[in-house]
Structure 1
């Protein structure tokens, strides 16, 4: 995957917009960070992943998911896009979007998906 793939997925959802964070491309929902590209150009910084879930992801797919000491105390996982598959990343991305988007946007998206 690439950051453009992530953009393509996320920009299809309401309230997602391009932005930047720490000088790198980011996607935001209502001015809150959905994800950002890490400075290495290959890793995605994915906030909103509790440490226990992050540890499980890292244990099961260490080539895809990891974290550095900097993120150890934060609910964040790093994703190597060059090793990632959409099926592993999209559910995390969608869940993060659902926590940031307005209730109406989530409701409308759910209604459209079920029809």
Structure 2
């Protein structure tokens, strides 16, 4: 079964845990992924019962505003962390898993130490 035919949580989990030293545990009642167990880079979001299944993650400066303006049906400003530039990504719409993988990797790069980022980007060494 391809990634896009599976449960969105399982697909997201696979992407997150494929990153160097990524771990998962519950935080605020939802699956959340951390770098080295400390810094959050993705939080699954299904607990607000607002008919929006998705995830939240840190994004490079300006990305949240750009994506929300371009595609408000797919991207949103999440509560609590949106004011810090975090991006909300819907998983209950037509999901482009290649794009999701890029968003997750960018979120990871926002919080991971340089030596772990270097493992993702060997050409940057």
TM range (shorter): 0.7 to 0.9
Alpha-carbon distance between aligned partners in 1 of 2:68 and 2:14, rounded to the nearest angstrom = 25
Greater share of residues in helix: 1
**Does 2:41 match 1:34?**
yes
Whose relative contact order is higher, 1 or 2, with alpha carbons under 8 Å and at least 6 apart? 1
For normalisation by structure 1, the TM-score amounts to 0.80
SS at match of 1:4: helix
- Structure 2: give runs of 5+ residues left out of the alignment: none
2:24 is aligned with 1:24: no
Q: Which of 84, 89, 92 does residue 82 from structure 1 map onto? A: 92
Contact 2:22 2:33 in 1 (8 A): yes
- Structure 1 residue 102, shift from structure 2 partner: 2.8
Secondary structure, counterpart of 1:14 in structure 2:
coil
Task: Look up the match of 1:73.
Answer: 83
The one of 69, 81, 85 aligned to 1:59: 69
Unpaired runs of 5+ residues, structure 1, are: none
The number of residues matched between the two structures is 112
Specify the alignment match of 1:91 in structure 2: 102
TM-score calculated relative to the size of structure 2: 0.74
